[in-house]
Amino acid sequence: MLARNAESLYWIGRYVERADDTARILDVSVHQLLEDATVDADTASRRLLSVLGITPPDGSELDVWGLTELVAMSPETGSIVSSIASARENTRVAREVVSSELWQCINAMWNAVPERQRAARRVGPHEFFTFVEDRAAMFAGLADSTMSRDDGWRFLVLGRSVERVDMLVRLLMSRVGDRPTSPGWVTVLRSAGAHDTYLRTYRGALDASRVVQFLLLDRLFPRSVFHALQQAESCLEDLDRGPSARIGTGAEASRLLGKARSDLEFLQPAELLDNLTGRLQALQGTVRDVGEAVSRQYFHAVPWIEWNNTEVNL
């Protein structure tokens, strides 16, 4: 498998997940700003921008539409439109190894952006966010149903899983220090697409400890940090499978993911809120280091990656 195709698939996974997660976070935040007049729009908007790693503009107060234009509709790096454009370009580059259905989905998504932006300005920003979330879900479903479980699919899922960890950790970082019963924890759950599943799991009981426990440690919820780390680790194990993988973990990215996953797996839930900031910062560092390690090992270190399909025995 060509390294450029592997890199494109990895970044397709990351960019689609980034667009999806950003739309979810922004959708919930904008609803909150529109419904609760007691919330200071400028402060809340700048807090959200810091979560997303976007530099806020100087000298002007932000409102709902200013936030939406900056994060959702502008071509600036980190915006939803920028993520969709990057995902489409990477899909075009890797056209030979992705299904026609995937290409049609992301291409149609990109071509529909201008019309959806106009609709959002007419009827409200929720129109645009829902469009992005629906298309991202369609893309994920098509990837799972039309791609063989070979190295191409593994790079796509690896990128998606790594980005999911990063975005969820950023979301949790924004609420560190909030009161255990703060409404902000409901915002976190809704932004992560976890609200209904959380309520069914904990019978409606809401507090910070349980929210953090669910989003970090839950083994069954597909958007939890633990589940995403486990999925990324599984993809790398299959990618690294070979004679040199019989003893230990040779790849740096696999080692980093395994350590982060085991640190969470054997953590006592009662200790979860102890030094939560340090724990989340460590996870952010792991995501950054994993991205660099994957890039060195697969994309820039060698010109060719053997296509390995462990599911098929000829």
* pLDDT score at 177: 76
The tokens of 11 are what?
Answer: 């970044």
Cα–Cα distance measured from residue 47 to residue 192, given in angstroms and rounded to the nearest whole number: 17
State the sign of the Cα–Cα–Cα–Cα dihedral 84, 85, 91, 95.
Answer: positive
Q: Which residue has the tokens 């002007």?
A: 60
Q: Mark whether 119 and 235 lie in a shared domain.
A: no
Q: Mark whether 163 and 253 lie in a shared domain.
A: yes
- Would the pLDDT of 310 be above 60? no
- Would the pLDDT of 312 be above 50? no
Q: Mark whether 7 and 140 lie in a shared domain.
A: yes
* pLDDT score at 304: 43
**How many structural domains comprise the chain?**
2
Q: Mark whether 11 and 91 lie in a shared domain.
A: yes
Q: Mark whether 160 and 303 lie in a shared domain.
A: yes
* pLDDT score at 244: 53
Which one of 147, 168, 188 terminates a domain?
147
* pLDDT score at 87: 97
Instruction: Please enumerate in sequence order all residues whose Cβ is within 8 A of that of 305, keeping only pairs 6 or more positions apart, or say none.
Output: 1, 2, 3, 6, 151, 298
In the DSSP assignment, the letter for residue 147 is: S
Q: Is the pTM of this model over 0.85?
A: yes
Which one of 147, 165, 181 terminates a domain?
147
Cα–Cα distance measured from residue 244 to residue 249, given in angstroms and rounded to the nearest whole number: 9
Element housing 38 (H / E): none
Q: How many CA atoms lie within 13 A of 31 on its CB side?
A: 14
Q: Mark whether 108 and 192 lie in a shared domain.
A: no
DSSP 3-state assignment of 175?
Answer: coil
Structural domain boundaries, residue 205 = 148-314
Q: Mark whether 138 and 154 lie in a shared domain.
A: no
Q: Mark whether 267 and 291 lie in a shared domain.
A: yes
Listed in sequence order, the DSSP H helices in 124-269 are: 126-146, 151-173, 184-191, 195-202, 208-217, 225-239, 252-265
Residue 41 pLDDT class (50, 70, 90 cuts): confident
- Would the pLDDT of 305 be above 50? no
74-110 pLDDT tens trace: 888 889 999 999 999 999 999 999 999 999 999 999 9
Give the mean pLDDT of 45-71.
84
Q: Which residue has the tokens 């494109």?
A: 8
In the DSSP assignment, the letter for residue 57 is: P
- Going from the C-alpha of 109 to that of each of 88, 112, 138, the distances in angstroms are 9, 5, 10
Which of 120-124, 186-190, 237-241 is predicted with the least confidence, judged by mean pLDDT?
237-241
The tokens of 238 are what?
Answer: 């299959």
Give the mean pLDDT of 48-69.
83
Q: Mark whether 143 and 158 lie in a shared domain.
A: no
Mean of pLDDT over the chain: 88
Which one of 147, 168, 194 terminates a domain?
147
In the DSSP assignment, the letter for residue 224 is: S
Helix 208-217 vs helix 195-202: crossing angle, to nearest 10: 110
Q: Mark whether 2 and 58 lie in a shared domain.
A: yes
Give the mean pLDDT of 235-248.
70
CA nearest 295: which of 149, 155, 131, 126? Answer: 155
- Backbone conformation region of residue 3, classed left if phi is above 0, alpha if psi is from -120 to 50, else beta: alpha
State the sign of the Cα–Cα–Cα–Cα dihedral 115, 117, 121, 123.
Answer: positive
Q: Mark whether 165 and 255 lie in a shared domain.
A: yes
Cα–Cα distance measured from residue 131 to residue 112, given in angstroms and rounded to the nearest whole number: 9
- Would the pLDDT of 9 be above 60? yes
DSSP 3-state assignment of 2?
Answer: strand
Residue 306 pLDDT class (50, 70, 90 cuts): very low
At 88, the amino acid letter reads R
